[in-house]
A and B are shown apart, each in its own frame.
Chain A
Amino acid sequence: MKRLPRQLILLTAMLLAVAAVFVSVRGAQHFEESLTAQALAVERTIARSMIDVIQKALLHDIPFDGLVGAEGYLEAVKRDNPGIEYIVVSDADGRVRYSTDLGKVADPDLLQRSIAQLKAEGTARVGKYFDTSTPIVHKGSTVGRLHLGERANIVEQLLRDIAFDIVTVLVVATLVAFELVRLLLAASFSTPLRALQDFFARIAAGDFRLSLGRDFFGGIGRLNRPLNAAVAEINSRVRSLTMSGRPPPAGFAFDTRDERETLRVNSVENIRWPFFLLIFSESLSLSFFPIFVGQFYDPSFGLPRHVMIGLPIALFMLIWAVAMPVAGAWCDRIGYRRAFGTGAAITTIGLILTAYAGSMLELLLWRSLTAVGYGIVYVTTQTYITLNMPTSERTRGMALFMASFFAGSLSGAAIGGILVDRLGFSMTFLLSGVLSATAALYVLRFLRREDGKLMQKRGLGVADFKLLLRNKQFAVITFLSAVPAKVALAGFLYYSVPLYLKGLGHNQSITGRVMMAYGLAIILVGPLVARLADRMQGRWRFVMVGGYIGAIAMAIPLFVGDTLGAALAVVGLGIAHAVSVSPQFTLIGDRCTDAIEKVGQATTVGIFRLVERVGNITGPILLGAMIALMDFMGAFVTLALFTFVSTTAFTLLLLWFDRKPAELKPA
C-alpha cells in the first residue's frame, strides 16, 4: 500500500516542478520587458542631470573641447550609479571627447565605432550594452552627445540578485504543498487503512460495538460506509431483540445502548499537520519581529535600544524552555489531545493580543503567554509521536517532528516577511492567530481521546529531575550529545555564523539564506537517515556519527575560506544534526525505560528539552568568549574539538554500559 502514495507524491512533485518553472519563466519574461524599461528610465534621468551640468558650463562660454575635470566628473557619476558601465561624451561627429575608463568595457573598439554611428536620441544595443544617447544642445545646435552604457542583461542581473529569493520561494511553496499532500494521502490511505485493520481485528473477536469514522476523502475510507451500515443494522436488530426481553446472542459484543462510539486511530500524520500549521503561524513574525518590537522602544526603561529589542525574544525563549517540563507533566495527566488543544488555544490568544499590544510591557506579557502555549504544543507533539509510533520507527517519528518544525519555521518566516508588507504588523499577527486556532480545532476534531491511558501523578517535582538525571544513560545522552549539539546550534549557527558572514561583508539576507541551509538539510536528510536508523540496530551509532560529522563541519571554514566555507559548515552541521538529533530521544526511550515509566513520557520529553537548552544558553556565551580570546577560526576549531571530545566520551561510555548490563539500572 506504500507504493501508491509514493507514486502520487512523485506525480505531484513532477507537476509542481513543471508548473513552478512555467510560471517563473513566463513571469521572468514579462519582468524583463518591464524592468528593462524602468532601468533605462533611470539612465535617461541620469543623462538629463549630467547634460544640465555640461550645458551650464557651456553657457559660461567654456568651450566644449576644453571642459576641465570632465573625466573626473564622469567617473564620480559612474561611482554614484553602480548600474552604469561607461559614460562617454562625444562631439557632434561622434568622436569620443571625454569618457570614463573604457579599459574594463568589453570590446572598446566596437563601442567607439558604434558611438561614431549613433546619431539618433534614444537607446540602442551596442555589443553587450544598452547605449542611451542624449544630444548636448548649445545655442540651438547639437554640439555633442552623451552616451550612458548599461549591461544589456539588466534583468538577468536583477534576477541574479533575487535568484536566492526565487529559490526560497520554490522551496517554501514545495514545503507547504507537500505538507498538504501528505495530509491528504494520510487521510485517504494510511489512516483509514489502520482503522480498518483495527476494526476487522475487533470484528474477528466478535466485537460489533464500534463504528468507523465518517469518510470525506473517498479513498480506503470508502469502505467505512457499508461496514458502518451493516454494523448499525446488526446493533439495531440486537437492540430490538433485547427490548423484547430476549438476551443478545452470546459470544459477541454489541452497542446495546445505541452509543454509536467511533473507532479512531492515531496516526503521526494526525498531529503533523496541526503542528506544522502552528509552527508556521508563530514563525510568520520571525522576519519582522525585531522591527515590530522597535516600535515599542521607550527610553524611559533605561535600556539601550538593541537590548530592548532583544528582550521579548529572550523572554520568549526562556518561558518556552521553562514551560516544557511543566507542560510535559501536565500533558501526562490530561492527555495530549487536550494539552495540544489548550497549548494551541493559548498560542492563539497570545498572538491575537500581540496584534493589539500598545506598550513594551503588554508585548512582553503577550509574548510570554504565546511562549507558554508554544512550549505545551512542542512537548505534546513529541510525546504523541513517541507514543503513537511503533518502537521500531520512533527515530523516523522524531525526524518527522524535526522536519515539520523546520518546514513550518522556514515557510512561515519567508511568507511572513512578504505578508507584512501588504497586511501590516497587526493583521499578520491576527492571521497567525487564525492559523493557530485552526491547528487547535483540527486536533480537537481529529485526535482520538486517550481515556484510560493517562498517568495518575502529581505535578512536576524536583524528584522527577533527580530520577532522570541520576540515570547514567540519560545523563550521558543528554550531557554528551544533546547539550553539545545545542552548543553548536546556538553558538556556531545562530551566534558565530551571522557575525562571521557580516565580517565577510555580507548583509542580513545573505546570512539568512546561508542559515536556511541548516533547516533544509534537516528536512531533506533527517527522515531518510532516521528510516535507516530504525532499520539498523544500535541507534547510538547514528548519534556518534552525527557528532563526528558536526565536529568536521565546524572545522570546514579553516580549510575553505570565505562564504563557501561558512555555507558548507552550515550544511554539514545540518546533516550532522539530521543524523544525530532524531535518534537522541529514541535512544533515551530505548535505554531509560524504567525512569520514563516512573516520571512519565511527556515529563521526560519536557525535562530533556529543558536540560538540553543549557547548550542554547551557554553556546553563544562560550563562542563569544572564544572569539574575543582567539579569532573566528580559533573559536570554530575549539568548538569542533569540544564536539569531537564529547562525542568520543559518549561513544566510550555507551560501549562501557553495554559491556556491563548490571549497571544499566537507574540509581
Chain B
Amino acid sequence: MLGLKLPRPNVPLWVRLGVPISMIIALAIALISFLNHSNYEKTYRQLNVSRITVVARDLRQAIEVGLNVGLAPTNNTQLDKALAAAKDHTEGLRFAVVIDAQGKRLVEVGGAAPNQGWLKRLEGIGEESSWLGEDADTYQVGLPYRNSFGITVGAVILGYDKAAIDRATAGTRLTLFANWLAAAVLLTVLTLLGVWWITRPLESELAQAEGALADPLSGASIPPLQLPLLGPQIERGISDFVRQSHAVQAAMAEVPKRSQ
C-alpha cells in the first residue's frame, strides 16, 4: 500500500510564536520611544519659545518706549541696533521683524521669508499677549505692541530656526534609538526563552500528533495518544481520522472485487 510521508516543518513552535511576539513588543516600545520623543521635542521647543519670548519682550519694550516719546519704529535709531544685538546674542534666532498694524515690515534683521500670514494673526489676536506660529523653516513668536493709548499698532516677530532644534534633538533621537535597540535585542532573547519554556508541553503534544499523522494511509495502527493540552476531542479526532482513512482504503480495495 502506498504510504504518505511528509517532511516535518523545521521551524519550531517557540520560534514561530516567539519571533512575532518579540516583534510586537519591539513595535510597542518603538511606539513608546516615538511618542516620548515627541513629548521631549515639544518640551524642548517650548523652552526655546520661552527663551525667544524674553528677547521679543525686550524688543517690544524698546518699541513702546520709543512710541511713548513720539518715535515711530522707523525713526527709532536704537531699534535697528537692538534687533541686530538680539539676533547676534540669541542662539538659533533666524530673524527679527517689526511690522505695523497693516502688516508692513518696518524694521528687519535676518532672512524672513516673504508672504507670512502675520497680519491675519495680528488682527485675530484679541486679548492674547502673543501668538505662536511657524513657516517651513522657522518657529515664530509674535508679540503685538501698543501705543501710549493702549491701541495695538503693530507687532514684533522673532523666528527661531527649525533646523537648530532638529540638530539639537538629533542626539536625543539617536540615544532613544540605541535604548530601543538594546531593549529590543534583550527582550527578543527573553521572549524566545519564555515562549520556549511555556510551549514545551504543546510542542511535545504536536510532535506526538504529527507522528501519529505522519503516514495515516500506511495501514499501521497508531500508538495511544496523550494530548491533555490539545484536549480529548483532538485526541479522539486523530484516532478517528486514522481509523476512517484505513476504512476508506479498505472500502476502495473492496470496490473492484464488487464490480468484477
Q: Which residues of A line the B interface, CB within 8 A?
A: 1, 3-4, 7-8, 11-12, 15-16, 18-20, 22-24, 26-27, 30-31, 34-35, 38-39, 41-42, 45-46, 48-49, 52, 80-81, 83, 158, 161-162, 165-166, 169-170, 172-174, 176-177, 180-181, 184, 188, 193, 196-197, 199-201, 203-204, 206, 208, 217-220, 222-223, 225-227, 229-230, 233-234, 237-238, 241, 246-252, 414-415, 418, 421
B199 touches A (CB below 8 Å): yes
Nearest CB on B from A348, distance (A): 23
Q: Please report the C-alpha to C-alpha distance between residue A177 and residue B21 in the assembled complex, in whole angstroms.
A: 9
B36 lies within 8 A of A169 (CB): yes
Known: A48-B89, A234-B217, A249-B251. A23 touches B29 (CB 8 A): yes
- The 8 Å CB contact of A203, one of B58, B199, B210, B240, is B240
Using CB atoms, name the residue of chain A closest to B15: A218
- The 8 Å CB contact of B51, one of A1, A22, A45, A237, is A45
Instruction: Report chain B residues within 8 Å CB of A172.
Output: 31, 35
Using CB atoms, name the residue of chain B closest to A175: B28
Known: A7-B198, A16-B28, A223-B210. A27 touches B179 (CB 8 A): yes
B127 touches A (CB below 8 Å): no
B234 lies within 8 A of A200 (CB): yes
Using CB atoms, name the residue of chain B closest to A8: B198
B residues 23-52 touching A (CB-CB < 8 Å):
24-25, 27-29, 31-40, 42-44, 47-48, 50-51
16 more contacts with CB within 8 A, not counting A162-B39, A162-B43, are A11-B194, A31-B40, A35-B47, A166-B36, A166-B39, A173-B28, A177-B24, A193-B231, A197-B237, A218-B12, A233-B2, A238-B248, A238-B252, A246-B255, A249-B252, A252-B251
B216 lies within 8 A of A170 (CB): no
B residues 145-163 touching A (CB-CB < 8 Å):
none
Q: Which of B3-11, B94-102, B107-115 contacts A (4 or more CB under 8 A)?
A: B3-11
A223 lies within 8 A of B9 (CB): no
Nearest CB on A from B182, distance (A): 8
Using CB atoms, name the residue of chain B closest to A20: B32
B33 lies within 8 A of A23 (CB): yes
Q: Please report the C-alpha to C-alpha distance between residue A174 and residue B91 in the assembled complex, in whole angstroms.
A: 40
- The 8 Å CB contact of A220, one of B39, B206, B251, is B206
- The 8 Å CB contact of A15, one of B48, B187, B214, is B187
Instruction: Report chain A residues within 8 Å CB of B119.
Output: none
Q: Which residues of B line the A interface, CB within 8 A?
A: 2, 4, 6, 9, 11-13, 16-17, 20-21, 24-25, 27-29, 31-40, 42-44, 47-48, 50-51, 54-55, 57-58, 89-91, 168, 171-172, 175-176, 179-180, 183-184, 187, 190-191, 194-195, 198-199, 202, 206, 209-210, 213-214, 216-217, 229-231, 233-234, 236-238, 240-241, 244-245, 248-249, 251-252, 254-256, 259
B9 lies within 8 A of A165 (CB): no
A173 lies within 8 A of B29 (CB): yes
Using CB atoms, name the residue of chain A closest to B14: A218
Known: A30-B176, A52-B58. A247 touches B28 (CB 8 A): no
Using CB atoms, name the residue of chain B closest to A240: B252
Instruction: Report chain A residues within 8 Å CB of B48.
Output: 38
- The 8 Å CB contact of B47, one of A24, A39, A248, is A39
Q: Please report the C-alpha to C-alpha distance between residue A251 and residue B202 in the assembled complex, in whole angstroms.
A: 35
B47 lies within 8 A of A184 (CB): no
B17 lies within 8 A of A15 (CB): no
Q: Please report the C-alpha to C-alpha distance between residue A70 and residue B182 in the assembled complex, in whole angstroms.
A: 54
Shortest Cβ-Cβ A-B pairs, 9 listed: A200-B237, A249-B251, A218-B16, A177-B28, A226-B213, A169-B35, A38-B47, A173-B28, A26-B179
Q: Please report the C-alpha to C-alpha distance between residue A151 and residue B223 in the assembled complex, in whole angstroms.
A: 75
Using CB atoms, name the residue of chain B closest to A52: B58
Nearest CB on A from B121, distance (A): 14
Instruction: Report chain B residues within 8 Å CB of A219.
Output: 13, 16-17, 202
Q: In the complex, which of the residues A3, A15, A41, A238 has the most CB atoms of chain B within 10 Å of its own CB atom? A: A15
B190 lies within 8 A of A15 (CB): yes
Nearest CB on B from A9, distance (A): 10
Q: Please report the C-alpha to C-alpha distance between residue A12 and residue B4 in the assembled complex, in whole angstroms.
A: 39
Instruction: Report chain A residues within 8 Å CB of B236.
Output: 200
B202 lies within 8 A of A226 (CB): no
B234 lies within 8 A of A193 (CB): yes
Instruction: Report chain A residues within 8 Å CB of B179.
Output: 22-23, 26-27
Instruction: Report chain A residues within 8 Å CB of B176.
Output: 23, 27, 30
